[in-house]
Structure 1
Amino acid sequence: MVTAYQHAHKGEFDFGTQAPPPQCPAHAGDRAVPLSGPRFHTDPAGHYREMRGEHGPVVPVMLPGDVPAWLVIGYQEMYQVTTDSRLFPRDSGLWNQWEHLPEDWPLRPMIGQRQPSIYYTVGEEHQRHLRMVQTAMESISPLELRKHCEELSDLLLDDFCARGEADIISEYAKPLPILVLARLLGFPDHEGPGLIRAMTALADGGEDALEQFQYFGAKLHELVAEKRAASGADLTSWMLAYPEHFTDEEYALDLMAITAAGHLPTADWIGNSVRLMLTDDRFAASLTGNRRSIPEAMNEVLWEDTPTQILAGRWAAWDTWLGGQRIRAGDMLLLGLAGANADPKVHVTSAGADTGLRGGNSAHFAFSHGEFQCPFQAQEIAETIARIGIEVLLDRLPEIDLAVPAGALARRPSAFLRGMTALPVRFSPTPPIEGRS
C-alpha cells in the first residue's frame, strides 16, 4: 500500500528505483543482531567493527520482542539518512510494525507517537516549533549562563569537598545539568531537588519512573501557567512571547523535550570526559591546570565515547536501497551515531594516528545531523555546562584521582546511551567556599 506521503514524494528521488546490488543480504531474523547484550557497553567499538564486517554499513537488528529495525553505522549512509528528510522522515506514523507491538512494549516511550512538540512533529509543524524554541534560546545571555554554571557547580562541590571522596556521577555530573536548565527555564532554586529526583528516576528507569515522569510534566505545566501570569527573564517566558500561537500543552511538551534531551547526554558528557582525563595519560595535564586538554578530552568523548550511541529514529517513506540493504517502506532506521563516528573510512586524526586526538575536528554525529539535529543553541548550552562543570571541578579538587581501579568502572547497560553508573574518586579534603557550610 502506498501512502499519500510516499506517492507525493517518490518521483523526486531515484533511490527507490536503483538496481539491487549483488548479493544483497535479506533482513532475516536468524542474521539480525540483537540490540541488547553486554558488548554494547563493555566493547562497543569491537561490536560495531564485527557488525560492519558481517553486514556492512547498514545492519539488520532486532529490538526487544523480536521487533525488526535497521541500524545505520556507516558515516556516508548516516549523512544520507539524516540529510534526506523526505525519503527518511522522522515520522513514526509510517512504521510498519505498530500493529505488531504489545501495549507494554518497553521502547514505546523512546520511539514515541505523534505529539505536538518539537521532538515528534514533522514538516512545517516541526519547523514552526523549532523557530520558536531557537528564537527563545537566542535570548539566553552567555554571561548569565556561565554565572549559573559556576554558582551551581560550586554549590554541588561544597556538599562533598570536605569529605575527601565522592561519586562524581550521582553527586555532580547528573544534578548539574538539570539545576542549570531549571534556572534557564525559570524555576526557583528550591524546585531543584525535586527535579533532580524526577530526572534521575527517568534516566535510571526504576519503579518510580512513571510517577516521576508525571511529576515532571505537572511541574512544567505549572511553570507555563505561572509565566503566563508573570513573565520573567527566562526561556519559558521568551517562548510564550513568540508571536506565533501555541497551546499551553505545546509549550509544556517542548519544555519537557528540551529538558530531557539536555539532561542525561550533558551529564554523561561530563562523566565520560572526567573518566577519560583520570584514566588516559594524554589528558593528565588537565589535572594540573592545563585547560587546553579539557576541550580536547570533551571532543574526543563526542567521537569515541559519545553519550547518545543510538538514536531512534527515521522511517523509510518508500522502498529503497541503503548501504547494500533493501529497505522497505515503513521500516525503521536507527541512527547509530557511535558506529558512524567509528567508520574507518573517516577515522582520520588531526594529531597523528598514535594519539587518536581529534583536535578541533567536530564533524562527528554526537548531536545527530540535518533537519532534526540538536539545535545549535542547545549544543552551545550543553557544551558550556559540561566545560565549566569540569573546569570548576578540577580547580576546586586539583588532586582528584580514581578511588577504584579503572577496570572496575561500569557503564549503564544500554545500547542506546553510554554513561558511567558511578565514578568514585578521592581527593585531598578542602573546605567549602567561605560563607557556606
Structure 2
Amino acid sequence: MTSPEQQQCPVRPGVVPLSGPRFHTDPHHLYNEMRREHGAVVAVELPGGVPAWLIVGYREMHQVTNNAELFPRDVSLWNQWGNIPEDWPLLPMVGQPMPSIYFTAGAEHRRHLSMVESALESVDPFELRRVCESLADRLIDAFCGRGTADLMAEFAEPLPILAMAALLGFADADGPHLAWSMKVMANGGADAQSAHLQFMGHMQRLVAAKKAMPGDDLVSRMLADPTPFTDEEYVNDLMAITAAGHLTTCDWLGNSVRLMLIDDRFAAALGGGRRSISQAMNEVLWEETPTSILAGRWAARDTRLADKVIRAGDLLLLGLAAANTDPHVRQHVSESGHTGNNAHFAFSHGEYRCPFPAQQSAEIIARTGIEVLLDRLPDIDLSVPAQNLVRRPSPFMHGMASLPVVFSPVRAVGGFQ
C-alpha cells in the first residue's frame, strides 16, 4: 500500500511537481515557464514522489523519439521499480513489464506491431465512415429534441467506443463500461488500478469469445495472424488498441468542437464549411493535442539530453503538448494557424509512433462525428462562458470534463422525439 510519506512526499528543490490545476487550466503558460526556468528537459516528480524527466522542447523530442535504441519504450529498464508501490494509481498509464505492443522494444515490439498493423490495415475506411454516420445519428437522436446536451457525455465519449465495438466485435452494451474504465485509468485517481483490472477482464472475455467463434472483426483477424501469440499478449495488445483508439479520439472530437465554438477562425465550420472542420482538427493536434504527456521512454544507458545528465533507467515523459507549442516551432506559425502542417507530435514519432492505420481510423471517427453533428444541429452554441469549461483531471490526457451546449430542437431522424 502507498504510505502517508509517499502520498505527501515533498518535492525536491529544482524539481517541478507534475500535478496541480495549471496543467488543466493554463498549460501553455506553464510549459513556457518550465522552458524558461529549467530548459528543454525538466526534472519533474509524479504523485507519490516518483522522479522523471519531462521533455518540453521540440528538437529534444525529435532526438528521443528518433533514437529507439538509446531511449526504448522498455519499462523493464526503469531504475525506480524498487520504489514503486503496487497500488500506485499511475501504474496503468506509465506501464508494467508485460508482453505487448506498447511496453516492449526492438524485435519484440516489431513482432507485435506487425500483427496489430496488419489487422488495422484491413479496416475498410468507407464502411467505418458509414458505421460512424449511423452511430452519430443514433446518439444525436437521443438529445436533439431537448435543445440542450453535454456533448462530452452524450456524444464525444460514446461515439468512439461504439465505433470500436463495431471494429473489434464486442457488444454495444459493453461500451459504457469500457469507456468508464479507460477514463478512470487516464485520470490517475484512486480507482485507476481497479478500473485497469475491469478493462483487462473485458478484453480477456472478448479474446475467449472470438477464439470460440471468430467473426469479421479486428480481434478475429489478430487471432488469425500466422505468428503465434499467447492469450495474455492478445489481451495486452487489445487493451493498447482500445485505450488509444477511444481516449484520444474522444478528446480530439471534443476539443475540435470546442475550438469551432470559441474561435472565429473556424466559424465557417458551423455553416457547413468542410475545410474549416479539417483545419480545426489539425489545429487541435497542435494546440490542444488529446495526449498532452505520454509515458514513456527509459534511458538504455547514461547520456546527456540538452543540458541534463540522464542516468540509465531514468523515465522520460514525452511532453507532446509542450513540444508542439515550443517557441522554436511557433515562430513559423502564421495568423491562420498550422494549415497544412502535420509535423506535430500528436501521434508521437519514430518507431513507437501510433500506427498510420490507427491514425486514419481515429480521423474518420472524429471527423464523421463532427460533420454529422453540425449537419443535424447547425446553430449549436456553448451554454456557458468558454472560460467556465473544465478539463478532465488527467496528468496525461487533455480533454474536456463536459461540453454543455444549446441549439434549436429538431426531430430525430428515426422519427419524432
Structure 1 CA distance for aligned equivalents of residues 187 and 293 of structure 2: 17
Question: Alignment partner of 1:299: what SS?
Answer: helix
Give the direction of change, closer, same or farther, for the CA distance of 1:203–1:36 in structure 2 (3 Å limit): closer
Please name the residue that 1:422 is paired with.
402
Alignment-mate amino acid for residue 380 of structure 1: Q
**1:101, distance to aligned residue in structure 2 (A):** 2.3
Query: Which of 337, 341, 347 does residue 367 from structure 1 map onto?
Result: 347
Is 1:236 matched up with 2:216? no
Is 1:182 matched up with 2:182? no
Query: Which of 305, 313, 335 does residue 322 from structure 1 map onto?
Result: 305
Is 1:402 matched up with 2:382? yes
Alignment-mate amino acid for residue 272 of structure 1: N
Structure 2 CA distance for aligned equivalents of residues 54 and 204 of structure 1: 27
Q: Which has the larger radius of gyration?
A: 1
Structure 1 CA distance for aligned equivalents of residues 329 and 184 of structure 2: 37
Structure 2 CA distance for aligned equivalents of residues 97 and 219 of structure 1: 30
Alignment-mate amino acid for residue 270 of structure 2: L
**1:227, distance to aligned residue in structure 2 (A):** 1.9
Structure 1 CA distance for aligned equivalents of residues 56 and 183 of structure 2: 29
Structure 2 CA distance for aligned equivalents of residues 125 and 436 of structure 1: 54
Query: Which has the higher mean CA deviation after the structures are superposed, 310-319 or 392-401?
Result: 310-319
Is 1:95 matched up with 2:78? yes
Give the direction of change, closer, same or farther, for the CA distance of 1:203–1:76 in structure 2 (3 Å limit): closer
Query: Which of 311, 314, 328 does residue 331 from structure 1 map onto?
Result: 314
**1:64, distance to aligned residue in structure 2 (A):** 1.4
Please name the residue that 1:378 is paired with.
358
Question: Alignment partner of 2:54: what SS?
Answer: strand
Alignment-mate amino acid for residue 426 of structure 1: V
Preserved CA contact (<8 Å) 1:161 1:429: yes
Query: Which has the higher mean CA deviation after the structures are superposed, 88-97 or 175-184?
Result: 88-97
Structure 1 CA distance for aligned equivalents of residues 294 and 236 of structure 2: 19
Preserved CA contact (<8 Å) 2:181 2:195: yes
**1:122, distance to aligned residue in structure 2 (A):** 1.6
Please name the residue that 1:4 is paired with.
none
**1:213, distance to aligned residue in structure 2 (A):** 3.6
Give the direction of change, closer, same or farther, for the CA distance of 1:311–1:195 in structure 2 (3 Å limit): closer
**1:198, distance to aligned residue in structure 2 (A):** 3.8
Give the direction of change, closer, same or farther, for the CA distance of 1:228–1:101 in structure 2 (3 Å limit): closer
Is 1:283 matched up with 2:263? no
Please name the residue that 1:6 is paired with.
none
Preserved CA contact (<8 Å) 1:401 1:425: yes
Is 1:110 matched up with 2:106? no
Query: Which of 406, 411, 417 does residue 431 from structure 1 map onto?
Result: 411
Structure 2 CA distance for aligned equivalents of residues 416 and 199 of structure 1: 12
Query: Which has the higher mean CA deviation after the structures are superposed, 132-141 or 58-67?
Result: 58-67
Query: Which has the higher mean CA deviation after the structures are superposed, 189-198 or 367-376?
Result: 189-198
Preserved CA contact (<8 Å) 1:158 1:436: no
Query: Which of 102, 123, 142 does residue 159 from structure 1 map onto?
Result: 142
Task: Give the alignment's TM-score, normalised by structure 1.
Answer: 0.89
Alignment-mate amino acid for residue 409 of structure 1: L
**1:218, distance to aligned residue in structure 2 (A):** 2.5
**1:169, distance to aligned residue in structure 2 (A):** 0.5
Please name the residue that 1:12 is paired with.
none
Structure 2 CA distance for aligned equivalents of residues 248 and 76 of structure 1: 39
Structure 1 CA distance for aligned equivalents of residues 311 and 30 of structure 2: 26
Is 1:271 matched up with 2:254? yes
Structure 2 CA distance for aligned equivalents of residues 392 and 159 of structure 1: 14
Query: Which of 229, 236, 241 does residue 246 from structure 1 map onto?
Result: 229
Question: Alignment partner of 2:372: what SS?
Answer: helix
* 1:328-350 per-position Cα deviation (integer Å, ceiling 9, x unaligned): 11111111111111111122556
Query: Which of 35, 38, 47 does residue 52 from structure 1 map onto?
Result: 35
Identity of aligned residues (%): 63
**1:162, distance to aligned residue in structure 2 (A):** 0.4
Please name the residue that 1:216 is paired with.
199
Preserved CA contact (<8 Å) 1:36 1:414: no
* 1:85-120 per-position Cα deviation (integer Å, ceiling 9, x unaligned): 111111122111111223332222222111111111
Question: Alignment partner of 2:112: what SS?
Answer: helix
Preserved CA contact (<8 Å) 1:394 1:400: yes
* 1:118-144 per-position Cα deviation (integer Å, ceiling 9, x unaligned): 111221111001000000111111111
Task: Give the alignment's TM-score, normalised by structure 2.
Answer: 0.93
Give the direction of change, closer, same or farther, for the CA distance of 1:193–1:138 in structure 2 (3 Å limit): same
**1:43, distance to aligned residue in structure 2 (A):** 1.0
Question: Alignment partner of 2:274: what SS?
Answer: coil
Structure 2 CA distance for aligned equivalents of residues 243 and 139 of structure 1: 15
Preserved CA contact (<8 Å) 1:315 1:332: yes
Give the direction of change, closer, same or farther, for the CA distance of 1:415–1:203 in structure 2 (3 Å limit): closer
Preserved CA contact (<8 Å) 1:179 1:196: no
Is 1:392 matched up with 2:372? yes
* 1:349-373 per-position Cα deviation (integer Å, ceiling 9, x unaligned): 56x2x33x11111100011111111
Give the direction of change, closer, same or farther, for the CA distance of 1:229–1:104 in structure 2 (3 Å limit): closer
Give the direction of change, closer, same or farther, for the CA distance of 1:208–1:94 in structure 2 (3 Å limit): closer
Q: CA RMSD in A?
A: 1.8
**Matched length:** 407
Please name the residue that 1:9 is paired with.
none
Please name the residue that 2:3 is paired with.
none
Structure 1 CA distance for aligned equivalents of residues 186 and 320 of structure 2: 19
Q: Mark the runs of 5 or more structure 2 residues left unpaired by the alignment.
A: 1-10
Please name the residue that 1:258 is paired with.
241
Structure 2 CA distance for aligned equivalents of residues 224 and 436 of structure 1: 40
Structure 2 CA distance for aligned equivalents of residues 415 and 188 of structure 1: 30
Alignment-mate amino acid for residue 388 of structure 1: T
Alignment-mate amino acid for residue 359 of structure 2: Q
Please name the residue that 1:299 is paired with.
282
